Each structure stands twice: as C-alpha cells, then as structure tokens.
Chain A
Amino acid sequence: MLVILACLKLNSLLADSAPATPSLSLLESLIDRQKDIRTVSADFTQTRTLRTLRYPLVIKGRLWFQSPDQFRWELGIPPKTIVIGNYDGLTVIQPGKKQALTKPISTFASFPSAGSFGLIYLSGNGNLEEFQKRMQVLALSTSGSIAQLIMLPRDAEAARGLDSIRLDFNTLTGAWISLEIVTRDGSSIQNEFSNVVINPALKEGLFDCSLKGFSLTHENN
C-alpha cells in the first residue's frame, strides 16, 4: 500500500518541481520510465518506529499494481490486512477479524492520504501539472546511483502531523528502493522494497474483493 503511495507521491513530486532545475530532470526521467509500467509486483518489509514503543515493529508484505489505478496491498504473511483499491475508493479487509471497511479515497485524510492517492490518477500516464498541485518538494539529493526525495503533500489535511515523506530510488533504473513517512513526533513508517518485477502477468481476480461472511462497514466522505 505504502509503495503505491510512494508512487503517488513521486508522481506528485514530479509535477511539483520546475522543469528547468537540474534535479528535476532525474524525476522527469523517473516518471518517463513509469509511463511504460503496466503492472508491478513487489515484496516489502515495513518497519514502524513509533516514539512510544521500545522497539520497532517489523512486518513483511506484498503489493501488486495494475495501470492505471488498480492496486492490492497485503500487510503480513499470511496477510493480516489487505487493501484493495482503485480510482473510486478502497476496501480495507482484516481477514482475521472477518471485518471489512469500504471508504472513498478522499476520506483517507493524513497519511496514507487522499493527496497520496493522487498517484493513482497519474501512474502509467504521468501528468506533471496534476502532480505539481499535490506535492511540495522539500529536498532532493543523490548519492551514487541512489536519489532521495523529501516531500510533503500540499493538501493541509493530508500533511497534518507529517514531518516529511522520503523516497529513495535508483537513478539508473528508476526502481523504488524505500519509502519512509516521518511524523512530527519523530515516529516513522519505512518500507523497503525487494523482488520488484515490472510488467509481470497478474492473476485474474487479484483486484476483486470477495467479502462473503465478512462484517462490512461503509464510511462516507
């Protein structure tokens, strides 16, 4: 899920910066590469370092993405939380509790946020203008072939409580390396990606929700 967010943030970022700056050319090339992406599958390790916890919480997961806006994100193996979504909204499923919640994307205030999901609109057909409206670039630096982008959503509600969103990516391949979301109290959620496969053949029905036997709640805007 957060990888998807990262994509979204990145696209926003690309749109945000002025095309004339040298650093932006890196991002432009990255977004250009993404235009060729039709599907993605990846594993990730998520580390939640919260201020009030004595040790970080580490959990593994998987994600799938299909252009232009379909995604499936599983947290935990076997999954403890599944999020399936698209342009219209998302469904958060907790298989263990047999509970599911549907909500429009715009209600996902703060991180992962409505602003973050702006990438759904852009992935595969990146739109610089749309992107620019959504994200504010705080810093962009490179070290060898790795670039780190630090950004914040422009949407005040989405940015509430956030210190920054940090995305590391490979400048040569355009592949995402990690995404970290840092809150103002110093807590962070970091995702490190592995086994990233571009344009794999995805299983049919991967983005369908079968909620038979689940207690379903709808959240309105």
Chain B
Amino acid sequence: MPASWAGEVAIAGAYESPRRRAPGVHPFAIQAECARGALADAGLDLADVDGLATAASFPAEGAREMAVAEIAEYLGLRPRWVDGTDIGGAAPLSHAGHAVAAIQAGLAEVVLVTYAACGYSWPHGAADYLTYAHGPGQWELPYGPSTVATYALAARRHMHDYGTTAEDLAAIAVQCRANAAANPDARYSAPITVDDVLASPVIADPLHRLDCCVVTDSGGAFVLTSARNARSMRTRPVYVLGFGEALGQVSMNQMWPFTATAAAASGARAFATAGMRPAEIDCAQLYDSFTITVLLALEDLGFCAKGEGGKFAAAGELAPGGRLPVNTDGGGLSSNHPGRRGALAVVEAVRQLRGDSPGVRLDSPRTALVHGMGGSLSTSATLILGV
C-alpha cells in the first residue's frame, strides 16, 4: 500500500458558516466568508493559497460548469492547481483526496477547498433531477423520480431483504438530533423521539420528513498543506491518513445490488491507503442526506455486516458512548445541509479531532472517518483523518 498516504499532508484550517438562513445573499459571498474563516483558522492569507477546489454547479450554488473558475475570480485568486470534480455531496472529499496527491506531487503547496449554497433561500427554484429526459435519463425522468424517492427505493429493498424497520432508520435521526442539542448553530436542536420521526409526514415511503436532511443556506471550507508546513501553523494539524473514491449508478435501474453502494469500494480504498481497519476508527461523519444513507454506509464501510445496519443503529452504537459515534455536530439531519454536506462533514471531523466541536465533544478521539455520498446513492468518497 502507498505509504506516502501516512499523514504527509494535513488539514491546517477549517471553518463552517454559522448561517442557516441567508435570504438575499448570493452563495459566492458565503464562499468568500468560508475561505476567509478557514484561512484565518490556519493563520494564513488568501495570498498564501496556490490551489483551489470547489464545486458549485447546482442552481443554488450560483455557478455553472466552470464553477471553480468563477469562484477563483470572485475570491481574487489565480491558483496554479485547480480541481472542479463535481460528484454531488461527495465532491469536497474528492477535492481533499486529490489535493493530497497534488501537494505530494509538488503541484500546489496550500490548497483551499470551499463550498457554499443557498439551498433554502435561492429564489430561482429548480427541479431536483440528476439528469435530463434525454440519453439515459429518458427512461427514468418521465416517471417522476424525486431525490427522496430514489433513496426510498433503496430503503424499501433493504427492509425486504434484511428486516430493517422504520424504527431502525428513525434511530439515526434521533441520534443526530441529540448530538445537535449543544450546537448553537444547528438548524434544529430540540430532542426528538422515534415516534416523532414516524409521526412526521411521509414524503416517499418508507421515508418520513424527519428521515430527511434539513435544507439550509450555508457553507464550509478547509485548507490542506504539507504536514511540515502545518506543524508551524496556529492550529493543531489533522493528518490525512487515507482516501478513496468510487462511482456507482446514476439511473436507479442500473443500481445492482440495490442494498449496497459505491461506499464499499471507496471505503476499502481509504482503509487500504491508511493501512487501517474499521475497528481503529474512533468516530465518523457519515453523509446523512437521509437516514438510509447512514445505514448503508455503516454496512458498506465495514462497521457492521451487510444487513446489520438497522440493528447497529437501534442498539445505540452511533451514540457518543457507542462503538461508532457519528455526526457529532448534528449532521445534515439536524444541523446543516446546504447542498453538499461533504464539506461540512470534513470540517466537523477536524473540529472533533481538535477538541472543538460545537456539538458533542468526544473524549480525545485520535482517528475519524469522513464519508461523502452524492446523487442518488451514486458517488462515494471516503477520508480517514488522524491526530
């Protein structure tokens, strides 16, 4: 395995916008706020940055296909290395992994990964389709596949194959809400119960409203540089120990099997580059667009056997005292999900390892896994971080 992944690059600064509602604000302004915040956290200036990665092609992100160029121009940056990989909510994790390789190759010294969207307030509403009614999409779009519905298809089959229940899924939402209780910026922080989840309106059965993430206006950013550089900066370096990415299907009629995702491949690659096993992970930030997203990730990443994710969650293993504390700031389900949660999941993992999470603070975790899942269980990227 490539030993060069053993922490030669570190995250030296991280920032999450406290905004959750930003009517009248263009998402680029939040991008700039996040860039400023992450650089200040590292004790750096924009002039120190020579690499930029972002994705902002969703309507509520304000850019189009040249998003990284638009954001560079807006910030006032002319980077020598760029990455505009655009694989949904997993993109910021891919950016981080690619940045590690770029820094090791000498293509950049300080890489800024930024993200922002006005998912709630964006005035130009847009359909949530992943594709168009031409090419492959013509065999799916005419039938009305909303994003929630595509995840519901996976939840239904998991229930059929493994006996997973709506209560099992609800336990994930309940835990995220409990973690959000201490987070002053969380979109929702009042405790909920399994019954509350089941009593919330059904959106696409078996998924209820409280099985779905919040929709916010916000963003986040982080800064990567060599470990040698990071050790001279103002905050404790968080080392990148492992990374993997993988692609699954876009059309749901191409998902096979229906109860597993590309996380199995991205997770295996991340553990291989880190030379670690799931049992060595102290805590995780698992993409929680919907409760089923977390459940499938638990299984596909190897934290429990296939089919056991529901029992794992219902048994309280995701709680701060459980085998795998997850989404310690409240996650996308309760704290913040402007569009691509991956950026914020990385930020929370960094805060947790540095001991400054705004949510639940675990007892000195040494390792964290961050997992991103984009599209309709389509794309996957996994990072392993450590201090």
The judgment on whether A and B are partners is no
**Could you list which residues of chain A lie within 8 angstroms of chain B, going by C-beta atoms?**
none
